[in-house]
Every structure is written in C-alpha cells, then in structure tokens.
Amino acid sequence: MTSARLQSKDRVAESYALFPDLPKSEVQKVRRYKRIVQPIWTDNKAHFIQAYLKYFVQITKHGVYIDGFAGPQYRDRPESWTAALVLASEPKWLRRFYLCELAKQSIRSLKKLVTEQPQARSKSGRKLPRSIKVIPGDFNESVDGILSSGEIAQSEAAFCLLDQRTFECGWATLAKLAAYKQPPNNKIELLYFLGVGWLHRAFSGLKRKETARKWWGRDDYNSLHRMSCWQIAELMRTRFIQELGYKFAAAFPIFEHDGSNRIMYYMIHASDHADAPALMVRAHAKAVRGLPKETQLVLPGTFVTPPEAHTPKAQHLPAATAP
C-alpha cells in the first residue's frame, strides 16, 4: 500500500473518531517478567529475597524493610532465616527495619539477632544510620502502628516481606500496605508467600471459616476448594493488580527441595517500580540451582503451570503483568 493511500486511511479513521479533537493517547510500554526456566527450592527462598533487595538497594541507595512474620521458620537452619540474611546483606543502605512476630520464642530469637548486629558501615568505613525494631504481636494489628508513625517517607523505597503460615496475613493488611503511599510515589513493594503445598488440606481443617474469609478478603473463598494451586496463585496475582493497584505482579514457584518438583509456595512479587521485574529475574537466576531434566520449558510470555501442579512434568513461569 502506497504512502498516499495510508495517509488517506488515517484521515478517514480520524474523521470517525468519537472525540476527534482530543490528542492521541500515549501508550506506555509495559515491562514484562522473563520466563522462569529453573526452579527455586525452599532452601533457597531466603537467598532469593536477599539477592533481590541487594540489587534493588543499589538503585535506591536507601530503603525500609518490613518483615511481617520475621521469626526463623527453621531453628536448626539459620542460613534460611531471611531477616538475618537481609540484615547482613551488603551494601548496608537499608535504613530502617521493622521485624514483627507473634510467637514468644521467635521474638527472643529476633532480639538476640538485633543485639548481635555490628555497626553498619560503608566500604570506606563511615558509620551508616540504621534503626532495627522488633515489634511483638499480630502483624495484622501492628502494621497500623508502623504506617501511622510517619517514619516511612512517601518518597522512600519500602519493601514488605510476608512469609506467612498459610492464613496469617489478612487481605485487609495487604490493602493497608498498598494504600499507604500516594501517587506519584511507588507503593510499598510486597513479597508475599502463598503456601499452596498444603492449602487445600488447610481449608478442610479450618474450624473457623472467618479465618479464611479474613485471609482472602472476600466471601467467595469457598470457590478456592475447586481450584488448583496454580489457579489460586494466578487469581491472587491478578487481584494484586486489579484490587490493590500495583503496576507489576508475578508469581514465582518455590519447590519443596532439590530433586523435587512439588510446589510448596508461590512468591508473589508486586511492585510499581519499572526496574523491579528485571531485578527480580536477576535475583532468581542467582538463587536457583540446576533445572531437573524432567521439567519442561514453555513458550515465553505466558503463565503456565499445569493443573497437575505436583506432577514430575510441571511447567512453571511467572505471570507477567496486568491482564
């Protein structure tokens, strides 16, 4: 088709536009997550988070870290304790830490961890300001005090890790975190662990249905019984965008252990920052181990985990962005 004919077609299209006098909208290019081709084991998930925050703080040069369920999950495996790894991470540019925990023994472990921290210093030896608070109690309640304190500036990079035990983190808590910062500032980033490996069994064992309703934040939680683990993760990821207003969200599968293809968690990462998807993929590449031979690769640009989420021939990659 000639250039003259193309110009003529454009003029005709404009003449039939609903609002021809309005300027043409600028479509922002959407950043997408690359596909995952290697699995992350539960032994590596703490290193996964540590690597991501290390990369991100090199861009922001500052930051606030909130850990809603900060106690060690495995007391005999300190190398898998996320709070300890993040505190030890270099460069030490994260300025404030809020380590929240309900269990008394975990609170004691956190306080001991804090007292053992050396003075934060730059590579040149200069002292760096750093505040670490251990906050006892239910994070769904203590989050109000953290956000209302005014200590987290609107322009300050902030991250919240939610490595919950199944139904501990309520949807209302996610909504509070997402709504704290006002445009044009980026929202508090969420690193949310969804425990799908035992989710259906946990549903059947619930004595108080109110627990599930608070966790899900809606009355249709009963429909989750009929969904596969990957369908629940995809629905949750979509809600982070559509209901919480995040620009980017992806669900990263976390496998049981080296040699297993059983998915125990999906780590759902939600962010407004344009560089976040690429940094998360880079952190994933650092945290993973070898790809099992039986794991099949998938075409890029899709979210694929088969309904048989725990079968040897599972296909896995993160969801990209908003539908």
In this prediction, residue 77 has a pLDDT band, given cuts at 50, 70 and 90, of low
Residue 70 pLDDT level (bands cut at 50, 70, 90): very high
Give yes or no for residue 311 having a pLDDT over 80.
no
Sheet bearing 131-136, strands edge to edge: 40-41, 248-255, 263-271, 189-194, 158-162, 64-67, 96-101, 131-136
30-287 CATH, one of 3.30.470.10, 3.30.2130.30, 3.40.50.150, 3.40.50.300:
3.40.50.150
- The mean per-residue pLDDT over the stretch 226-243 comes to 93
Higher-confidence position of 219 and 9:
219
* Residues 178-211: tens digit of each pLDDT: 999 999 999 999 999 998 888 888 888 777 788 8
Residue whose pair of structure tokens reads 């509070």 in the numeric block: 176
pLDDT at 7: 52
Is the CB of residue 158 less than 8 Å from the CB of residue 96? no
Alpha-carbon gap, residue 52 to 40, rounded angstroms: 14
Distance CA 69, CA 195 (A): 14
Query: For the chain, what is the mean pLDDT?
Result: 79
Confidence check: pLDDT of 322 > 60: no
The pTM of the full predicted model, rounded to 2 decimals, is: 0.78
Q: Is pLDDT at 58 greater than 80 in this prediction?
A: yes
Mean pLDDT score, 276-298: 63
Distance CA 323, CA 316 (A): 18
Q: What share of the chain is helix, strand, coil (3-state, %, to 5)?
A: 40, 15, 45
Please tell me the predicted confidence (pLDDT) of residue 307.
36
- The mean per-residue pLDDT over the stretch 33-51 comes to 69
Give the pLDDT band (50/70/90) at residue 259: low
What is the structure's pLDDT at 262?
Answer: 81
Instruction: State both tokens at 299.
Output: 């075409």
pLDDT in tens, 134-170: 999 999 999 999 999 999 999 999 999 999 888 999 9
Least confident of 66-75, 107-116, 162-171, 293-302: 293-302
Separation CA 272–CA 190 (nearest Å): 10
Tokens representing residue 201 in the block: 């069994």
How much is the pLDDT for 64? Answer: 96
Residue 289 or residue 323, greater confidence: 289
- 253 secondary structure, DSSP code: E
Check pLDDT > 80 for residue 316.
no
- Nearest Cα to 268, choosing from 161, 165, 177, 179? 161
**Segments making up each domain of the chain, as ranges:** 30-287
* CA atoms of 215 and 254, how far apart (whole Å): 21
Give residue 23's identity as a one-letter amino acid code: P
Specify whether the CB–CB gap between 102 and 136 falls below 8 A.
Answer: yes
Handedness of CA 58, 64, 67, 72 (dihedral sign): positive
